[in-house]
Structures are given as C-alpha cells and as structure tokens.
Chains A and B, each alone.
Chain A
Amino acid sequence: MDPRLPPHHSDVEDLHKQLAKREAELSQLNQRLHHLIHWKNRLLNLVAQDIRTPITAIKLVAEVIEYQFQDQISPGLRRLLDIFDRNITRLEAHIDDLNLIANLDLDGISLTLGPVDLNAEVQRAITTFFPHALRRGIELDAVLGEVPPLEGDANHIRRMAMDLIGTSLARLERGQCMVVETLGKNDGAWIRVSDNGPPLSQEEVETILRQLKDHPEHQEIQISLYVAHQIAERHGGHLDIHSDGGVTFAVWLPRTAKMSKESS
C-alpha cells in the first residue's frame, strides 16, 4: 500500500482493535502484578512472624540467665554475651526490615497518614532499646523537647526512630553513651540521635549520604539508615549525618507530610 495515501477506514478500525486488545492485556498483567505483590507481602509477613517467635524465646532465656547469674559473669563471658546480644538485635532489625519490605507497594513505602505525637513515638522507640543498652552497659538518655503535632505515619516514624537508635547503638562499646533528642520548630521537628562512639571522617559521611541516595550496600548500618532515610523522604523530610567527636544522625520531619515518591 502506498504510504502517501491516507489510511483506509478498515485499517484505522484494526488499529483501534489492536490497541484495545493491548490495553486489556496490560490491565490483566497489572492485576496479576498487584496480586503477586499482595501474596509476596503476605508471605514476607508470615516468614517474619515465624522467625521472630524463636528469636524472642532465645532473647528471653538469655535475659533470665544473665539476670540470675549477673554476679558470676566474668569479663570474658560478658564480652561473649555482648556479641550474642548484638547479633540477636541485628536479627531483629532484619526481621523489621522484612516487615517493612512486606509493606512496600509500587510507589515504595506506603504511608497511613494521621496525627502523630512525635515524643510518644520516640519514647516507645527508646524504651524498646532499654534492655539492650542496659545489657551492653551503654548509657541511653533522652531529651524530649516541645514539638508541634505532626501529620504522618506513626508506625513508620517510630520505626525510623528505632532505626536511628539501633544504628547508633551498634557503633558503641560498653561505657559509651548516646542521647536521643526531639526539637520542635514552627514548621516541623527534628529527631537527633547523638553518640560518643568512633567519629566518621567527612569523606565517610559523604559516602554514606551518597549511598543512601543510590542503592544501599548490604551492611547492617546502612540498611537501617536506608530505611530511616526512605521513611523521612516519604514524609517530605530528610536525614542528615554529622560527626564531631561522635556521630549525630538527625531527621527533619515537616509538620504536614508532603508525600514524595521513593527515589530509586
């Protein structure tokens, strides 16, 4: 057929039919994709639950043993218990990551927006780590300031605070300390977790911040930080890192969540 001639009516009809067929196929594939995502999420939740149960039991037994024999624990045994504790905490963090991944939709982390009492969520995050800090002889302090009511996903914000606290705790040795602060401004609030652990060079800070924006390396510190970064960004906030004697991980959250698409 001569391409200079206008298409026949029947050709246009064919094209429309093909287009409709492709649209129907695409719609079916999309439905299938959502269906697979739903089952993936359910499976991840089940797996996380099944792993968490024995870990909780192991932790409980270890705590009872440590409490009962605390006066008989030698420095060497104490170091082994610290290693045990650190690894259990790492496993728990990975389970939390699994649960978070289970909640990912096609746009990244899904948020359920509502009023957030930031200090209450940070308090819950801090008390979760109390036993861990105590067992490892790390001083965990809190300075919770006046913060305005925020709009956001309370569960994810608590999760983000836990990721920051866990990241800091993982860096510290017995006798060191960390402070968790909240600081309110008119248009939002800061969560800051500062420690007196080993400092990071400016280059290391820049590398971590760069890797947070790209795909994370599979190292424990950066997985937790990556999750915290994603949650902050989804709320329209951001994560900063400073190092001056120790390290401060800080997250800014706007008063009203300005939901953004997850950066890939």
Chain B
Amino acid sequence: MIKIVTIRSPRIVNQEQCDAFIHEIESALAQSATHIILDCSHCLYINSRALGAILHAMATLTARGGNLRVVRPQGMVRQCMETMGMLSLVEIYETVDEAMQGA
C-alpha cells in the first residue's frame, strides 16, 4: 500500500531545529510511509546530522519499495546533497504537486 508523507524543511536546520526535523522524518517512517516528499524549496541549510537522517530515510524507503522525493534543493542544501552523492539517488522535483504526481 502506498503512503505518501510530505515534510516541509525549515529554513535552517541547525542544532536548534534538527531534533524536531528528524522527529518528523522518523514519525513518517514509523507511520509506514512508502514515499516521503521533502520540500526544500525554502531551505537554506541542513546540518550533517539532519542529512544523516535523510540518508537513513532514503535507505528505509527504498527497502519498502518506495523512494524519497526532494523538491527544489538549492544553494548550500544542493551542494551538500551533491557532495554526498544523493542527487543521483533521489528524485528531484520543482514543486510538491509534481512530486505528488510522480507517486
């Protein structure tokens, strides 16, 4: 059964926002989400711990036969994902609606 959860990333995911952001991802996974749409269109920065949680989500969703969809990663967020080699492993969309249609 397909279950899609959309998570909007805060503007900055640093030490202060990281726990709440990771909790949101983990909740989605705990609710048996098969696809997570991560809206990064307003996100300026994600720290390494949050990126680790995203990578873990990616692996979990793949194991469930689903995937992680990332909406408009840009600037430093895109650079980080590129450095981690994530851009070739996730689906990139311009808008949340397009990402929803891809499910």
Contact = CB atoms under 8 A, between A and B. Distances in A.
A243 to B, nearest CB: 20
B88 interface: no
Interface string B67-86: 00000000110011011110
A131 interface: yes
A28 to B, nearest CB: 49
B79 A123 contact: yes
A84 interface: no
The main secondary structure of chain A at its interface with chain B is helix
A127 B47 contact: no
Contacts, number: 48
Interface in B41-90: 45, 47-49, 51-52, 55, 59, 75-76, 79-80, 82-85
Interface stretch (A11-19, A138-146, A226-234): A138-146
A124 B79 contact: yes
Given A70-B59, A130-B80, A130-B84, A141 B51 contact: no
Contact of B47 (A70, A128, A141): A141
B48 A139 contact: yes
Contacts of A138: 48
Given A127-B76, A134-B55, A142 B45 contact: yes
Interface residues of A, number: 22
B79 A127 contact: yes
Contacts of A251: none
A148 B14 CA distance: 23
Given A70-B59, A123-B76, A130 B45 contact: no
- On chain B, which size bracket covers the interface? 10 to 19
Contacts of A144: 45
B83 A130 contact: yes
Given A134-B51, A134-B55, A141 B15 contact: yes
Contacts of B83: 127-128, 130-131
B48 A140 contact: yes
B59 A139 contact: no
Contacts of B47: 139-142
Contact of B14 (A70, A137, A142): A142
Contacts of A124: 79
Contacts of A133: 48
Interface string A57-91: 00000010001001000000000000000000000
A177 interface: yes
Contacts of B45: 142, 144
Nearest to B15: A141
Task: Give 4 nearest A-B pairs by CB, closest first.
Answer: A140-B48, A133-B48, A127-B79, A139-B49
Given A134-B48, A177-B15, 15 more contacts: A70-B59, A124-B79, A127-B76, A127-B79, A127-B80, A127-B83, A137-B52, A139-B18, A139-B48, A139-B49, A140-B47, A141-B14, A141-B48, A142-B47, A143-B14
Interface of B: 14-15, 18, 45, 47-49, 51-52, 55, 59, 75-76, 79-80, 82-85
